[in-house]
């Protein structure tokens, strides 16, 4: 499977990320593209979990703004789309907003 395809699959659910990670680890040729997008995708998944917890806590405290915050829950989907598009174009650029926070953050991917 091409490295570009593996980089895109990393953004498609956690199962896609795990599949890409296993393929990357077992590959004799460690692609920088796949490594970079594994890093970005894992960062987005972590950001999504933290965002979901924050939305749940705020919605429990202030139920009147719960529906407004539900729209903010779509942000990780938008970020994953940006990441997948960058992967499809062989670009090593961080996703907007949170991408810089996760660059070279996960040492087990090296």
3-state secondary structure 52-95: HHHHHHHHHHCHHHHHHHHHHCCHHHHHHHHHHHHHHCCCCCCC
Helix, strand, coil abundance in the chain, percent, nearest 5: 75, 0, 25
| Mean pLDDT value across residues 44-54 | 93
The count of domains in the chain is: 1
Sign of CA dihedral 78, 80, 81, 83: positive
pTM for this entry? 0.87
Task: Please write the tens of the pLDDT for every residue from 50-84.
Answer: 999 999 998 888 888 877 888 888 999 999 999 99
Q: Which two tokens stand for residue 64?
A: 């009147």
Q: Residue 45 sits in which domain range?
A: 3-109
Position 108 pLDDT exceeds 80 = no
């Amino acid at each position: 499977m091409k490295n570009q395809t593996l980089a895109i699959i990393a953004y498609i659910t956690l199962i896609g990320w795990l599949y890409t990670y296993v393929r990357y680890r077992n590959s004799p040729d460690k692609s920088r593209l796949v490594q970079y997008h594994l890093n970005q995708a894992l960062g987005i998944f972590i950001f999504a979990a933290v965002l979901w917890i924050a939305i749940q806590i705020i919605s429990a405290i202030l139920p009147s703004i719960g529906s407004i915050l539900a729209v903010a829950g779509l942000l990780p989907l938008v970020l994953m789309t940006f990441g997948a598009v960058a992967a499809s174009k062989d670009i090593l650029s961080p996703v907007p907003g949170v991408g810089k926070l996760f660059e070279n953050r996960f040492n087990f991917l090296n």
